[in-house]
Amino acid sequence: MNINATVVGQIIFINFLVMLFLTLKFAKGKSDNLPLVGFYTFLLSFLFFPASWLYCWYWSRMKPNVASEL
């Protein structure tokens, strides 16, 4: 199998899109600043992509914020 820089770049980009979608889906309703969550996912995906998996797992495990109105 021939692996070159183009294939590696495509794999990293596809991983970025999947992690961005999943992280934002999990963080919705749990975070007040979704653009910042997306930005952190972007940085983690391109700097060290296994860290984006951990970040997505972190948001999937977090309990939703319950705001009680009196």
In a domain, 70, yes or no: no
Confidence band of 62 (pLDDT split at 50, 70, 90): confident
In a domain, 69, yes or no: no
Residue 18 sits in which domain range? Answer: 5-61
Place of tokens 């990293």: 12
Centre a 10 Å sphere on the Cβ of residue 18 and count the other Cβ atoms it contains: 14
Kindly report the CA angle at 16 between 12 and 19, in degrees rounded to 5? 130
Contacts of 62 (CB under 8 A, 6+ apart): 26, 27, 30
How many domains is the chain built from?
Answer: 1
pTM here is 0.79
In a domain, 16, yes or no: yes
Confidence band of 69 (pLDDT split at 50, 70, 90): low
In a domain, 10, yes or no: yes
Interval 14-55: pLDDT, tens: 999 999 999 999 998 888 889 999 999 999 988 888 898 999
What pLDDT score does 66 carry? 67
In a domain, 18, yes or no: yes
